[in-house]
Structure 1
Amino acid sequence: MQLDSKAQAIDWAPPLEGQDATAAVEWLLQFATRHQASDVHLHMDREGCRVQFRLDGVLTHVGTLPTEAAKLILGRVKYLAKLKTYVESLPQDGRIAADEVGLASDVRVSTYPTVTGEKLVLRLFYEEHQLALNQLGFPAGVNKALEHQLGIRAGMILLTGPAGSGKTTTIYALLQRLLEIDPCHVITVEDPVERVIPGIMQTEINLERGLTFAKALKHLLRQDPQVLVIGEIRDEETAAIALRAAMTGHLVIATLHAGSCRGVVERLNALSDDPNLVASQLRLILNQRLVRRLCADCSGKGCAPCFGSGLRGRVPFLEMLRLDEANQGAIETKRLARLEPDLSFEQSRDDLLGQALTTEAEINRHLQL
């Protein structure tokens, strides 16, 4: 087995004796869980199988498995995920039941063929990671604005940010807070459902069976929802349904991919072709990133728990825009350069650096996204 210095420092030693990969798979997943990895990457190449963990949003190499052992381990993962173990030339998706590998939550598995061999990505979920709204680390002003909008129960809240920026965690925190304030009928359409929340009607889209966001929403509006959550607004039809739902007295919470709060408005305008409707129904946009914080164990010097990076754990880095009268007017007149966020990335940056929570280099890395 080939190990690098970081792997040795974190005690990388999967059990590879014999031909039974059961113990190795369980060890690998439990090892990843101890280090709070969100994803495990297993990639076959000419020298074996490279193992990488996504830690705090950054892909980190932890070791290499010998070729023969790796084949057994990948085969075992596919078997547990109820995939075709003999198929390596086509992508497959599956799920490993938590009790099969001694974890608290299921593991999502994706396979993909590459020129050097099969690539598997295992997504891990953590029940304890579901935070309440006041545990997300948002500034007091952001929490107050979100709480205010939840109380109105109308209009649209949009979240944006790159993959892995915590949008789903924020949405689930908002839903939990809604149920605490005043239990209501909440329906979600997600891709996929990452966590089941008691008291909420959750739906998972299935493209193979023709259940898209737009098709699900058409029917769900007949289920008498008070709050509608849309995993992602991807097309004109979904945007039109979301805006119509907000206009008819529903609170709509959704994500839409864009690089800034202004970019969200630009994209929604392009999808709906009705800036007046967008201005009247959009209430708040939250653009979020998660930046790595200085490691509490080594104060940024680098140690085994932080894999030598000096950074461990994450804090929110935010931009927020509320649709007050001035911002609504800017949208209606298509003068989006006049949109003024209540919290800018520059203000958030100064706050994080002022509290010595992270580094300037880490913040700059996220501003380039």
Structure 2
Amino acid sequence: MNFVTQQSEDILSKATTQRSSDIHFCPEGDSVHIYFRIDGYRTFSSSLTRQQYTPLLSYFKFTSGMDIGETLTPQDGKSQYVSGTHSFDLRLSTLPLEETESLAIRILPQKEDLPLESLFLFPSQTTQLRKWIGRHTGIILFTGPTGSGKTTTLYALLQTLLKEQSYQTITLEDPIEQRLHDILQVQVNEKAGMDYYAGLKAALRHDPDILMLGEIRDEKTAQFAFHAAHTGHLVLSTLHAKNAYGTIYRLLEMGISKTDLEQTLIAIASQQLLPIVCPNPLKQKRTAILEMLEGHELQAALAGHSPYKSPSYPSFANLRRKAYALGFIT
């Protein structure tokens, strides 16, 4: 193993051992600083000289299928890292700077199973999700910031559904973060003309029972997703919005009518991760809480009545207070 290969191995080993979700290589002057994102926080790890970074960058670009000679345009690539019995998919992207390129690596652990019950702090929210996915038509939306576990939740929901009954299930993802059994997973590739809209149109010709869209990004995809849900499919997807109530305004901005929302939208869940108190800092973990809109609260929200005006509504603020009172968080 040569020096550069060993260097990349050391960085990836350190990052995965510390449960990092991302690695950032940030050039600054003659140095390149390496940061790990751990439990949502970006922490400094180490520094390299520019001389050390240049061959390391070329190595990462080569092993992930990028063009080593191209330094003036952004590139994306993917590779895999295996450590013992653990396997990780890596998604790499470069960004051109004045004299070099920055590099970001997203680390996607490949887990065999994602039990729904293990994801959420409050069991009652898991129970509620199970009720939602018992529906055969309609759309369920998850919102939250990048890295809040939305895709993990979607995977767990799909696995729960497939354990209970055989469904023709198709996912459209960018990227495919976890390989799932008995599911048709389609990689979105906008450069090749396979965006979410084109993929959704093609997926509907495969007689799906369940459709999962990694993200609703534009008006055309939103309208087609609601059309699919309205015509007899269960659609699961994510959307960028600040909270559950704000999701409604995002959908209205995308041209979805209130009538379609009332008839098709099953529920909205906005997701956040909380760091849980643990005596052993090496076993520190985060778990999810959900701000949920469904039933009469959803219908009231669609009519323009904010749920946050009700002190009993389980908003993020109330859920965090509950978690604190129960000793889960500081």
Taking only the aligned residue pairs, the percentage that are identical comes to 33
Partner of 1:349: 320
Runs (4+) of structure 1 moved beyond 4 Å?
99-103, 338-342
> Does residue 292 of the first structure (1) align with residue 275 of the second (2)?
yes
RMSD of aligned C-alpha atoms? 2.4
- Show CA shifts across 1:125-182 (max 9, x none): 2123852111102422211211112112221111000100100000000000000111
| C-alpha distance in structure 2 between counterparts of 1:258 and 1:129, whole Å | 30
Compared CA separation, residues 62 and 98, structure 1 to 2 (3 A):
closer
| C-alpha distance in structure 2 between counterparts of 1:286 and 1:49, whole Å | 39
What are the within-5 Å matches in structure 2 for residues 201-350 of structure 1? 201-297=184-280, 305=282, 312-324=284-296, 327-328=298-299, 330-331=301-302, 334-337=303-306, 343-350=314-321
Aligned partner (choices 12, 15, 18) of residue 32 of structure 1: 15
Larger radius of gyration: 1
Number of residue-to-residue matches in the alignment: 328
One-letter amino acid of the structure 1 residue matched with residue 292 of structure 2: M
Q: If the length of structure 2 is used for normalisation, what is the TM-score? A: 0.92
More strand by share: 2
| C-alpha distance in structure 2 between counterparts of 1:283 and 1:191, whole Å | 24
Q: Return the offset for 1:322.
A: 0.8
| C-alpha distance in structure 1 between counterparts of 2:23 and 2:215, whole Å | 25
One-letter amino acid of the structure 2 residue matched with residue 349 of structure 1: R
In structure 1, the gaps of 5 or more residues are 1-14, 299-304, 307-311, 360-369
| C-alpha distance in structure 1 between counterparts of 2:206 and 2:176, whole Å | 19
> Does residue 93 of the first structure (1) align with residue 76 of the second (2)?
yes
In structure 2, the gaps of 5 or more residues are none
| C-alpha distance in structure 1 between counterparts of 2:90 and 2:28, whole Å | 24
> Does residue 161 of the first structure (1) align with residue 144 of the second (2)?
yes
Q: If the length of structure 1 is used for normalisation, what is the TM-score? A: 0.82
Aligned partner (choices 25, 40, 51) of residue 68 of structure 1: 51
| C-alpha distance in structure 1 between counterparts of 2:208 and 2:146, whole Å | 28
**Which piece of structure 1 moves more, 286-295 or 170-179?**
286-295
| C-alpha distance in structure 1 between counterparts of 2:157 and 2:83, whole Å | 32
Compared CA separation, residues 100 and 44, structure 1 to 2 (3 A):
farther
CA contact (8 A) 1:93 1:109 kept: yes
CA contact (8 A) 2:222 2:256 kept: no
- Show CA shifts across 1:4-40 (max 9, x none): xxxxxxxxxxx9xxx7311111111111111111111
| C-alpha distance in structure 2 between counterparts of 1:101 and 1:114, whole Å | 36
